[in-house]
Amino acid sequence: MIDTLDRAEALGEGTIAFFPGGDPYEVGSGISLAGYSVQVRGSGATGSTTDPRGTTFLASSQDGPVLDFSGWLRPQSFQGKTTHGGFNVVGSGVSDARKRNSGIRFSKLSSTLFADIAVRQTGGPGVEGVAQPGDAVYLCDFERIIVSTPVDAQVNDVPYWIFNEMNGVRLRGCGIRSTARTNDCGISGAVVFRSNRTYSAQSSLIDGFWVEYIHVPTDGTIFAVQANKYVFTDIQYFDAHKLPRATGTSHMRFTEPSFNLGGNLVRGVIPGNGTSATDIDTGIEMNQSGNAVTGVKGYNGQNVLLMPGIGGTTVELLGAEANASRPGWVDKSGSTSNTLVDHHLGERLYGRRKGKYSPSNKINGVHLGQKAVTYETAIDFTVSYESANFHVVTIDSSCSWTNVLDGVIGAEITVILKQGSAGGATLTFPSAVRWKAKPPILRSSSGARVGVKLAFDGEVWVEL
């Protein structure tokens, strides 16, 4: 293999080094592409784990990556594009607790396409993008790359794919394929996109990625995402399960990077939790704020789990696989800033009551987000539309309701006034409100109630 690389390099930068199919190219403990600029091409990645066909690079005494592109001379200034592809990458098939024996390793890589590759029998990750903070895999494409189960994936917590600080990268039509009924998925995730203490992973696209026949352990996930502005479209799951009696499992899990912006999007069929004992517990576990999930509601609900403190997140589920009847989300967030919609069940939870340009937040006359507050008073008080559009006020002693604050044109507010347990309190209503005839009367008996509904015309509040 070295001879072929050297001959191609001698012909000029970026020359294609072609490796025809046939017997495997034995690379021993692995081969480094450092200092080369050639494009590695083969005649295809066909066959199986036991009988790979086409072009195969085999590291039978693997000690590190089979193909190590760390130090490979990438195109400069992001103005060129080179392509590597059309080959099998096969490791030694030996367990590696160090997770060093990867299939393909990249570092400081840009303007490069890897395509039509199959990775098998590695003790470390099949595809590994490492980083020195601020210098990682950037503006690259990965297409039609299939990674089979790393040896002892669960025991050693080895991902199939892992990238640190991946920025501006597009993964299209790639996938993972488990070859075992167990020990095939680590707790940290099968496909891992992570950040580091200095820099966060940013602005990448993962499109049409498929997962086939995998078994997630307790507290494990398939996709572990610690990034900002990543877009996941049309992820496909086939025979994805959890191990028997496993709990806390998910198809995807988002966590905050050190420099946290959110802005991630998941779009497609959003998997649910099914009904069988080995169905994964939830679709997407959200431990990061500011993200969005939109797509078809997968069977049978529990598609998104919002963990405590998560806000600014939108979930919109459309349709329903197999008439999915359970709620589309589990909301543990405790937040009032999430927007959650399950169209199939007609369930809507709008945390933000109003917006700058649609202050009444109404569609077809229906409030999207009714925020209610309840309080008691024995002194003069005001009500604020900014704080809530539904107020329940208990009057414990004679006082005045002096005004309605923070009106915006089109806003509507409901106020229910109640006598306290002692009764006998008198209430003076605000003179600034345009009442239909005269202000209402709160009767003096204990527990008596009166309700008013007001709208703001841009100048004054008017009784409806």
* Domains of the chain by residue range: 1-349, 379-421+430-463
Q: What share of the chain has pLDDT > 70, as a percent? A: 95
User: What mean pLDDT comes out for the span 83-105?
Assistant: 98
Question: Lowest mean pLDDT: which of 63-72, 119-128, 371-380, 419-428?
Answer: 371-380
DSSP for 410-421 reads T-EEEEEEEE-T
User: What mean pLDDT comes out for the span 301-311?
Assistant: 95
Q: What is the dihedral of CA 338, 262, 297, 341, to 10 degrees?
A: 20
Number of Cβ within a 10 Å radius of residue 359: 20
Element (H, E) at 177: strand 175-177
Question: Residue 369: is its pLDDT beyond 70?
Answer: no
DSSP 7: H
Cβ-contact 442, 451 below 8 angstroms: no
Rounded Cα distance, 244 and 222, in Å: 16
pLDDT for 246 equals 98
Residues 1-349, CATH architecture = 3 Solenoid (2.160)
Q: Model confidence over 4-59: pLDDT tens digits?
A: 999 999 999 999 999 999 999 999 999 999 999 999 999 999 888 778 889 999 99
**56-58 and 292-297 as β-strands: parallel, antiparallel, unpaired?**
unpaired
pLDDT-derived band of residue 408, with 50, 70 and 90 as boundaries?
A: confident
Question: Residue 367: is its pLDDT beyond 50?
Answer: no
Question: Residue 430: is its pLDDT beyond 80?
Answer: yes
Rounded Cα distance, 211 and 151, in Å: 17
Neighbouring C-alpha atoms within 13 Å toward the C-beta of 249: 28
User: What mean pLDDT comes out for the span 332-344?
Assistant: 89
DSSP 138: B
pLDDT-derived band of residue 274, with 50, 70 and 90 as boundaries?
A: very high
pLDDT-derived band of residue 406, with 50, 70 and 90 as boundaries?
A: confident
Q: Model confidence over 238-270: pLDDT tens digits?
A: 999 999 999 999 999 999 999 999 999 999 999
Cβ-contact 108, 72 below 8 angstroms: no
Question: Residue 157: is its pLDDT beyond 90?
Answer: yes
pLDDT-derived band of residue 131, with 50, 70 and 90 as boundaries?
A: confident
pLDDT-derived band of residue 356, with 50, 70 and 90 as boundaries?
A: very low
* Single pTM value for the model: 0.79
pLDDT-derived band of residue 351, with 50, 70 and 90 as boundaries?
A: low
106/371: higher pLDDT: 106
pLDDT-derived band of residue 125, with 50, 70 and 90 as boundaries?
A: very high
Question: Residue 366: is its pLDDT beyond 80?
Answer: no
pLDDT-derived band of residue 370, with 50, 70 and 90 as boundaries?
A: low
pLDDT for 358 equals 44
Cβ-contact 213, 177 below 8 angstroms: yes
User: What mean pLDDT comes out for the span 145-162?
Assistant: 98
Question: Lowest mean pLDDT: which of 51-55, 255-259, 306-310, 359-363?
Answer: 359-363
* Mean pLDDT of all residues belonging to the chain: 93
Q: Can you read off the two tokens belonging to residue 138?
A: 């950037």
User: What mean pLDDT comes out for the span 96-120?
Assistant: 96
Query: Which residues are within 8 A (CB) of 169 and not within 5 positions of it... i.e. 6 or more apart?
Result: 137, 138, 139, 140, 141, 142, 163, 204, 205
